[in-house]
């Protein structure tokens, strides 16, 4: 286990921007899922409607986005956020940087204390269609 003074979460955090659906879009998604569920009872399908999501790794000292991951499905983004969060909380900062192809020069100073609110900021966004 990495000592708390060296964990990547002292220098970086995550911002997740996910597509917030309108009421009409939610109803369309439920109807589509119901049709698939009842029309194909013999086939085991994992149906997930498209819901755009972006995951950003952000420098905590400046708020600057250092890298971005784009996902067409919320489930994919959720899995990546859990993976990155675990690494932010446990990996040495230089190992974390190498693991996600960040320049280790982004690490400066002693880092900031990890906030009680956590290292993930979730931001719903509306997209024009």
Q: How many CB atoms lie within 10 A of CB 120?
A: 15
Residue 109 structure tokens: 């100073």
Q: pLDDT class for 74, splitting at 50, 70, 90?
A: confident
3-state secondary structure string across 34-87: HHHHHHCCCCCCCCCCCCCEEEEEEECCCCCEEEEEEECCHHHHHHHHHHHHHH
> What is the per-residue pLDDT for 91?
95
> What is the per-residue pLDDT for 4?
81
72-85 burial: b if 16+ Cβ within 10 Å, else e: eebeebeebbeebb
- The proportion of the chain whose per-residue pLDDT surpasses 90, expressed as a percent, equals 57
**For 15-29, what is the mean pLDDT?**
75
All structural domains of the chain with their residue ranges = 4-20+51-125
> What is the per-residue pLDDT for 125?
86
CA pair distance 85, 33, nearest whole angstrom: 30
CA pair distance 49, 67, nearest whole angstrom: 25
Q: How many helices (H) and strands (E) does the chain have?
A: 3, 4
**For 66-84, what is the mean pLDDT?**
93
Q: Which pTM was predicted?
A: 0.77
Query: Which CATH number is 4-20+51-125 given?
Result: 3.30.420
pLDDT in tens, 77-111: 999 999 999 999 999 999 999 999 999 999 998 89
**For 23-43, what is the mean pLDDT?**
63
CA-to-CA dists, residue 53 to 29, 69, 100, angstroms: 16, 9, 18
């Amino acid at each position: 286990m990495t000592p708390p003074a060296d964990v990547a979460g002292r220098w970086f955090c995550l911002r997740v921007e996910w597509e917030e659906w309108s009421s009409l879009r939610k109803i369309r998604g439920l109807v589509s899922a119901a049709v698939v569920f009842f029309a194909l009872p013999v086939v085991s399908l994992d149906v997930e409607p498209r819901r755009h999501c972006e995951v950003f790794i952000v420098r905590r000292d400046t708020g600057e986005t250092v890298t971005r991951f784009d996902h067409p499905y919320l489930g994919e983004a959720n899995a990546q956020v859990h993976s990155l969060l675990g690494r932010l909380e446990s990996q040495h900062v230089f190992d974390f940087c190498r693991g996600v192809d960040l320049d280790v020069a982004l690490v400066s100073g002693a880092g900031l204390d990890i906030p009680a609110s956590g290292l993930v900021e979730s931001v719903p966004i509306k997209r024009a269609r």
